[in-house]
Structure 1
Amino acid sequence: MSKSLSVDEINTEFLPLIYDIIRSYERDSHELSSLAQKSLSMRDPQQSTNDCNTKMQALRDQFNQFRQQVLQINGIAVTKEEQLKSLDALRQQLVMKRDLLIKYKNSCPFDPNNKI
């Protein structure tokens, strides 16, 4: 049986990793253009490709983990119709409880000395 999660417990920090991947690609393209212009030696192109692939795999893993966590959210399997029925039942309970409170407030207090 898997643990139920709330929405606040889910890891949604994708942007730093996406930003890092974009920055790596920009850095690689910049180094390639400067290499073509100046004929300088740059770091191993295979290493930069592996670095980007590693970061992409980390992002895929994080997305997969996110998908698994979403499936563990409380009430995720409840359909819209079931939610609407539950909401209607809760509204009816609220109306009944309000009516009871109003009746209680408007009722005469019990006085044991008062004989009818």
Structure 2
Amino acid sequence: MKVLLIAATAALLLSGCATTKSWSATGGSRSDATVKLSYEYGMFEKPQVNETEAINLATSRCKTWGYTGAEAFGGQTQQCNMSDGMGGCNRWIVTKEYQCTGLGNKDPAAN
């Protein structure tokens, strides 16, 4: 019975839990008309993200530069930002890049 309890506890810990993550603007370029959004998650988390939230945030950033919208380039990058010291990773950062669309106002003085 003890072995079963230990095995069940280990399985629960290793399976992780779904965690809602929010996108944050972490970079971009007005002149290149790009916006980078990111979120972080830990080793035992299963991140759940809202893609509508992401496109709305990217569009909002693009609109401040005079563009009318944003589109995802496609794909995303995942990078370890906290190593466990044994070749594994304890925390990850996921980044997705967006292209601003529509006619952009390249003159900062006009905004």
Tell me the TM-score normalized by structure 1: 0.26
Higher relative contact order (CA 8 A, sep 6+): 1
Which of the two has greater helix per residue?
1
The higher radius of gyration belongs to 1
Tell me the TM-score normalized by structure 2: 0.27
